[in-house]
Structures are given as structure tokens and as C-alpha cells.
């Protein structure tokens, strides 16, 4: 342990500071600090002086988790003396045994959860009422309880204690791979959330997922004042993703395209305000004029009632479920802190600061003016989804859809083509086939998603929506995005040296590779982009996409801050707040560029409802994607992706430094956007 001596002073000071800061709100622990100090002193007496820091770290963490039901203070002392491991060889053996067994447990719980959710996720099932109950069941809800009861959680915490984000940041360049793996083992048991609380969280999230997954709008049944329809008769679009993508697809369709976009925008406004008639949600039996909000059946107007604030009740239910965890996570006593400091490992304050700086940048107005000139009209709020900087914007969407439908008539055809797609991206044949062998494709009920494996031997699932006529282009574009997730999930499981390092620092990093794949969708179809302004257009596209989703994320963060200040709010009050917040963010960061005030459009995102505080991962993913893509230019794409994503789950800024040589920042994107504006003007 002599080699670790030079690391001791900084964490010791950190630990002392944290203890002083935590005393204010510390939950009293069963084992007194005097008893803890006595145990530390007794164990440390057997070893070198420098070992005391590690002993103290482990014993203190066990004490913070120990309850009266776990045994007396004497039992606590005996446990720590018996199970503390000093010998590095034996400690590594313990680590590997824990890792192997945890992989077995996590892997099979993941398989169970995935299987139980199939009826609500896959279009190949007929939904039954019981399916929602099974989908809400969490196979791992009793995991913590069981592992504290059998003391394995305590053995783990004692020998592989948790390191704070500050400590991990300090150690980042000093730790070897096995030390990073030890540290990630230490992240496993930092709180004791009861099984019934975990189950309630699972039920709330499952219910919200089911609500959003079934929120289809039959746009082929939307009518104007003359009772004319403008979309394909059988077209139904999931809110908000498919609605947004259809809006994007109509930028090259002249006046008719603009009319469709305006109609979709009205639908979105009705969803946000919750005066959307309940009868039009996933119902092909009626026609609906979203402007007048009138509903017709067989040409006759129907009396209807609005959706009863279900959208906001669902969001409120998620908040109440997440708040149940708060008392059991003293290090991160709110879901906001758990999502950012704990999950993303970037503070909420730092994320918000980066987003507000980009949304306030001088480049916003310049890019908005460029879009306005390209469209030949004033901007409208839905132009936050302007898609004209992408190469596919100049291609016939119907032609692309015809091609994708012929190429991918079903999920089997897409799955069989994955090795070819990977080889086109530069992966060697054997690597492409190996990665593809760990991915399977399923027919999605919703817009689709990627679900990774949690143990070797299992497969990642790419779930995508394919209609009876085959995969349309929008579905293909989304599927390539999800394929990027699956490739990351496979590399960071099968190609990483330690199971405890499998994965990525946070979901923004898997989003980054998904975006990187998605940008190459036309290349995979045989349409390489040879435009000399390609780099400039990509910079503008990522800037505008980041600007859009950062605003949505600012609303999401504001909503959760408000909920913590108003925990007893009703769904109606929450609705008013969300709409007011969306308008406030719009007026602050968008109104000047668009020439329109008080639009609530930033509140439409479905992830705000079914995936709490996930939205910030998208813009952070855009920033990572931009830096990653810039680094990959001129290099072997496949080799670099393999190198970069085999880092696994280290902290974000260290991952970025190792990947591209710089930290996550908005500055490269702002500089590239300014250069792109000059290139396009010239």
C-alpha cells in the first residue's frame, strides 16, 4: 500500500470538510461516532499508518448504513474486524467474485424486466389489462434489502467504499483501471431504499411510460375548416417524437408543407394545454380540427370532453415517487441532485450555466436570421425544429421512404443488415459481426428505443416501429440512432476490461454515439455528403438542435425545482406552472430571435412526462457528439469508437479528456457556428 501514500492528504482534508458540512442535516446513525472511531483504531493497529484512511472510509460508510436490525454495536465491531481485507491479492479475488456474481444477478434481472415489459413495448402483442401490472413489477426491487440482510452490501462497502465526485476528480489521472473498477464497486451501496419504495417508483415510471407509449394522434384524420384532410389517411404519429419528425419532414413541401406544420403545431398546443379532446387520442374513428378543437364522427360534430390533466398528473406521480427516495439518500437528498451530481456526475448548476450561455449567445440571432432568409418567411415557434441544415433536407422524403421500405420490410431484414452497416462505417468484418451478434431487433409499439444487456451472453435490443408496408424513412432515421446506442451498449459491455466499468459515465455519452450514427444514416443508404459546406452545415445543425433542446431542458429543471418548493401541488397547478415556465424560458431566450412571444411549445417533450430529468442528457450529448465528431475527422472512425468507448464508466470529464483531449464545453460549438455562418455567407 506504500504506493498510495502520496494520495492520502487531499482526500483526508476532503472527508473532514464533508463531515463538517453534512452535520447540519445528518440523519442520526445507530452506531455512534465514538464506537466507529474505536473500530477504526483497532483495525488500523494491525497495518501501516497509511492504511488508516482506507479503513476509516470503509468503516464510516458501513456505519452510515448499519441499522439496529443489523445487530448491536458489538456486532458491528466484530463484523468490521472479520471482513476488512488488507491483502491486495485477496482483495482483488473478492472484487472479482463480487463482480461475477453481480453480473449474473443484474443480467438476469434485466432479462426478466425486459421480458415482462414486452407486451407494452412490442407491437406484436395484444394488450391486456394485466400487462401494465407485470410491466410495473421490478425484479430488483428487493435487491438492496436482501444484500443488506445477508451482509454482502456491508462487505462491499467496507472494502470498496464510495468516493465522492470531488475525490474521483482528484484521482482521475492517478488511478489505474482496477482502481476505477474498485471505485465503481463503491458506488453500489451508498443508501438503503426500502423495497416498497423502489416498487412504487417502478410502478410510477411504468405507468408514465405506458401513457406516453400509447399517445398517438391520427393525423390522417385531422381536418381543416373545409373538412379537408392533408395527411395520409392511415398516418398516426406518437407524441411528441413522430409529430416533431413529421413537422421536420415538411420543410421542402411548399405551402402544403407549411399548412401541415401549422396543423401539427396546433395539435401540440392542445396537448400542452390539455384541452385536447380525450376522444381523439389514439382513435381512428373520429375526425378533429385542432384549430377549432371540434370533433366529428361520420361528418357530424360530436360532444367531447378534454383530457383531464392526465399529462400533468403523470408528471406529478413521478415526482411523488422520486421524493419517496429522498430520506434514504442523505448525500443527495433530492432527485435533482441524484439525477445530476449522482447520475450525470455533472452538477445541475454547471449544466444550467452552460445551457443559458449557449441560449444567450450572439450566435442564436445570427442563425435564426439565416434560417429566416432560407425559408423566405418570418419564423414560427415550430421552427425550433428547422431541419434545413441536414443533407437529407434536400432529398425527396418519399423517395427515401420507398428505399427504406424496400430494404427493410420487417425487423428481421434490418437485423440481418447490421453487420453490413457496421462494415460501411469502417468496422472490420470480424468486429462488425461480433457486435451485430449481440444485437436483436424488435417491433416497437412506440417510436422505438434501445435496451442494452447487463451481462455477457445476453443481447441488446433495438426496438423500432415498422409499419405494414415496411420501415419508412423517419423510422429508419430513428432506428440508426438506436443502433448507435446498441453499439455503445455492446462495446462498453463486451469489450471493457472490468464488469464494474461496463457502460458509459452517463446517458449523454450513449446519446453522443447515437447522434454520431444518426448523422450517417444517408451514408449508409448510399448517399455520401460531398457538399463543400458539409462541416459548416453540421455545425449549424448541431447548434440549432442544441439550442432547441437546451430550452426544453431549462423548463424541465425549473419544473422540478418548483415541485420541490410546492410538493403538495395539484395537477392543475402543475399544468399552469409548466406552461408559465415554458413561456418564461421562451420569452427570455427565443422571443427576440423568432419575433414571437409567449409560446409554450418548449413544454411538449414527452420525456418531461415519462423519463424524469432525462432531457438534459440530450444537449450534453450534442456537445459531446460535436467534440467527438470533430476529433474523429480524418481518423479511422471504427477504431477510434472502439478505443474511446472501451473506457467504460469513468467520470465524464476524465472520459472526455481521454477520448478527445479536452473537457465538455460549449465553446467549440460556438466557435464552429461562428465560422460556419461566415462560410455560408461567403
Task: For 558, list phi and psi in degrees, rounded to 5.
Answer: -65, -40
The answer to whether residue 88 scores a pLDDT higher than 70 is yes
Pick from 63, 64, 87, 71: nearest CA to 1: 87
In 117-164, which ranges are continuous DSSP H helix?
Answer: 118-121, 129-136, 143-149, 152-159
Tell whether the model's pLDDT for residue 76 goes beyond 60.
yes
Q: What is the pLDDT of residue 24?
A: 39
Percent of the chain with pLDDT over 90: 82
Q: Is the peptide bond before 240 cis (omega within 30 degrees of 0)?
A: yes
Task: Evaluate if residue 14 carries a pLDDT over 50.
Answer: no
Please write the tens of the pLDDT for every residue from 35-66.
Answer: 999 999 999 999 988 899 999 999 999 999 99
Band (pLDDT 50/70/90 cuts) for residue 1 is: very low
pLDDT value at residue 421? 98
Mean pLDDT of all residues belonging to the chain = 92
d(CA 435, CA 457): 12
**What pLDDT, on a 0 to 100 scale, did the predictor assign at position 428?**
97
Rounded average pLDDT over 76-87: 97
CB atoms within 10 A of CB 631: 17
Q: Is the pLDDT of residue 101 over 70?
A: yes
Outline where 380-472 has alpha helix (H): 397-407, 411-424, 429-437
Task: Look at residue 50 in the predicted model and tell me its pLDDT.
Answer: 87
Considering only CA atoms, give the Rg of the chain. 26
In this predicted structure, the answer to whether residue 446 has a pLDDT above a threshold of 90 is: no
Q: What is the pLDDT of residue 250?
A: 95
Instruction: Express as a percent the part of the chain with pLDDT over 70.
Output: 95
Q: How many beta carbons lie within 10 A of that of residue 151, not counting itself?
A: 15
| Lowest-confidence segment of 98-107, 357-366, 609-618 by average pLDDT | 609-618
pLDDT category of residue 391 using cuts at 50, 70 and 90: low
Helices (H), strands (E): how many in the chain? 32, 8
The full set of domain ranges for the chain reads: 2-192, 211-311, 338-389+529-681, 396-524
The answer, yes or no, to whether residue 9 has pLDDT greater than 80, is no
Interval 505-522: pLDDT, tens = 988 899 889 989 998 999
pLDDT at 107: 97
Distance CA 635, CA 205 (A): 41
- pLDDT over 90 at 574, yes or no: yes
Q: What pLDDT sits at residue 3?
A: 33
Q: How many angstroms separate the CA atoms of 591 and 245, rounded?
A: 23
Spell out a b/e string for 179-207, using b for 16 or more CB atoms within 10 Å of the CB, else e: ebbbbbbbbbbbbbbeeebbbbbbbbbbb
pLDDT reported for residue 29: 85
Q: Does 160 score more than 90 pLDDT?
A: yes
- What integer pLDDT is reported at residue 625 of this predicted model? 87
Q: What is the pLDDT of residue 629?
A: 87
Q: What is the pLDDT of residue 22?
A: 36
- Report pLDDT for 682: 62
Say if strands 237-238 and 300-302 run parallel, antiparallel, or are unpaired. unpaired
- Residue 393: predicted pLDDT: 58
DSSP state of 74: H
- Other Cβ atoms less than 10 A from the Cβ of 487: the count is 32
Interval 623-670: pLDDT, tens: 998 999 899 989 999 999 999 999 999 999 999 999 999 999 999 999
Please, which pLDDT band fits residue 392 given cuts at 50, 70 and 90?
A: low
- Three-state secondary-structure class, residue 217: strand
Name the burial class of residue 668, with classes exposed (0-12), middle (13-18) and buried (19+) by CB atoms within 10 angstroms of its CB: middle
- Give the per-residue pLDDT at 590: 98
pLDDT at 447: 74
CB atoms within 10 A of CB 272: 22
pLDDT, residue 8, reads 31
How does pLDDT run across 176-209, given as a tens digit for each residue? Answer: 999 999 999 999 999 988 888 988 999 999 999 9
- Residue 94: all three cell numbers together: 473478492
pLDDT band at 15 (very low <50, low <70, confident <90, very high): very low
Amino acid at each position: 500500500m506504500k504506493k498510495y501514500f502520496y494520495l492520502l492528504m487531499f482526500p483526508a482534508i476532503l472527508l473532514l470538510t464533508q463531515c463538517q458540512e453534512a452535520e447540519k442535516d445528518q440523519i442520526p446513525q445507530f452506531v455512534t461516532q465514538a464506537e466507529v472511531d474505536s473500530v477504526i483504531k483497532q483495525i488500523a493497529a494491525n497495518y501501516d499508518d497509511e492504511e488508516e484512511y482506507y479503513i476509516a472510509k470503509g468503516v464510516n460508510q458501513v456505519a452510515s448504513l448499519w441499522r439496529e436490525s443489523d445487530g448491536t454495536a458489538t456486532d458491528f465491531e466484530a463484523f468490521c474486524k472479520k471482513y476488512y481485507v488488507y491483502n491486495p491479492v485477496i482483495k482483488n479475488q473478492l472484487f472479482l467474485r463480487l463482480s461475477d456474481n453481480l453480473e449474473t444477478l443484474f443480467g438476469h434481472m434485466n432479462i426478466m424486466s425486459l421480458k415482462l415489459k414486452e407486451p407494452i413495448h412490442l407491437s406484436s402483442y395484444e394488450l391486456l389489462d394485466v400487462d401494465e401490472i407485470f410491466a410495473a413489477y421490478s425484479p430488483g426491487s428487493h435487491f438492496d434489502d436482501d444484500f443488506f440482510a445477508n451482509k454482502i452490501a456491508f462487505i462491499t462497502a467496507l472494502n470498496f467504499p464510495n468516493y465522492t465526485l470531488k475525490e474521483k476528480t482528484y484521482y482521475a489521472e492517478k488511478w489505474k483501471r482496477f482502481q476505477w473498477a474498485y471505485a465503481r464497486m463503491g458506488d453500489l451501496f451508498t443508501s438503503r431504499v426500502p423495497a416498497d419504495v423502489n416498487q412504487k417508483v417502478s410502478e410510477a415510471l411504468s405507468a408514465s411510460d405506458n401513457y406516453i407509449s400509447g399517445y398517438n394522434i391520427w393525423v390522417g384524420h385531422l381536418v381543416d375548416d373545409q373538412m379537408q384532410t392533408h395527411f395520409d389517411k392511415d398516418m398516426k404519429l406518437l407524441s411528441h417524437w413522430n409529430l416533431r419528425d413529421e413537422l421536420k419532414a415538411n420543410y421542402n413541401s411548399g405551402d402544403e408543407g407549411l399548412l401541415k406544420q401549422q396543423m401539427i403545431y396546433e395539435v401540440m398546443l392542445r396537448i400542452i394545454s390539455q384541452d385536447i379532446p380525450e376522444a381523439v387520442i389514439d382513435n381512428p374513428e373520429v375526425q378533429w380540427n385542432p384549430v377549432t378543437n371540434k370533433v366529428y364522427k361520420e361528418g357530424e360534430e360530436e360532444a367531447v370532453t378534454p383530457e383531464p390533466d392526465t399529462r400533468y398528473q403523470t408528471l406529478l406521480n413521478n415526482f411523488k415517487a422520486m421524493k419517496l427516495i429522498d430520506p434514504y439518500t442523505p448525500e443527495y437528498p433530492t432527485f435533482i441532485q441524484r439525477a445530476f451530481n449522482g447520475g450525470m456526475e455533472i452538477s445541475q448548476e454547471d449544466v444550467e450555466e452552460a445551457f443559458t450561455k449557449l441560449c444567450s449567445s450572439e450566435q442564436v440571432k445570427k442563425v435564426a436570421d439565416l434560417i429566416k432568409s432560407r425559408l423566405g418567411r418570418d419564423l414560427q415557434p415550430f421552427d425550433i425544429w428547422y431541419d434545413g441544415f441536414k443533407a437529407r433536407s434536400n432529398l425527396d422524403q418519399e423517395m427515401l421512404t420507398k428505399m427504406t421500405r424496400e430494404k427493410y420490410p420487417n425487423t428481421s431484414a434490418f437485423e440481418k443488415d447490421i453487420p453490413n452497416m457496421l462494415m460501411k462505417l469502417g468496422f472490420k468484418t470480424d468486429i462488425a459481426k461480433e457486435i451485430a451478434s449481440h444485437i436483436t431487433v424488435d417491433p416497437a409499439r412506440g417510436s422505438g428505443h434501445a435496451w442494452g444487456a447487463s451481462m455477457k451472453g445476453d443481447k441488446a435490443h433495438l426496438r423500432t416501429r415498422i409499419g405494414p408496408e415496411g420501415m419508412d424513412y423517419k423510422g429508419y432515421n430513428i432506428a440508426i440512432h438506436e443502433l448507435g446506442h446498441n453499439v455503445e451498449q455492446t462495446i462498453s459491455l463486451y469489450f471493457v476490461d472490468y464488469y464494474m466499468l461496463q457502460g458509459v459515465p452517463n446517458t449523454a455519452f450513449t446519446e453522443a454515439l447515437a447522434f454520431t450514427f444518426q448523422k450517417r444514416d444517408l451514408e449508409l443508404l448510399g448517399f455520401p455528403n460531398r457538399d463543400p459546406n458539409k462541416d459548416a452545415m453540421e455545425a449549424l445543425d448541431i447548434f440549432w438542435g442544441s439550442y432547441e433542446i437546451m430550452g426544453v431542458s431549462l423548463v424541465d429543471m425549473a419544473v422540478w425545482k418548483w415541485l420541490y418548493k410546492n410538493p403538495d401541488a395539484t395537477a392543475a397547478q402543475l399544468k399552469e406552472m409548466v406552461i408559465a415556465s415554458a413561456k418564461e424560458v421562451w420569452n427570455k431566450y427565443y422571443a427576440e430571435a423568432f419575433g414571437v412571444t409567449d409560446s409554450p411549445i418548449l413544454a411538449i417533450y414527452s420525456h418531461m412526462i415519462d423519463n424524469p430529468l432525462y432531457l438534459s442528457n440530450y444537449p450534453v450529448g450534442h456537445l459531446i457528439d460535436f467534440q467527438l465528431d470533430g476529433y474523429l475527422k480524418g481518423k479511422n472512425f471504427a477504431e477510434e469508437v472502439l478505443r474511446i468507448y472501451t473506457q467504460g464508466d469513468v467520470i465524464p470529464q476524465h472520459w472526455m479528456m481521454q477520448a478527445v483531449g479536452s473537457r465538455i464545453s460549449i465553446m467549440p460549438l460556438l466557435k464552429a457556428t461562428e465560422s460556419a455562418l461566415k462560410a455560408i455567407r461567403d
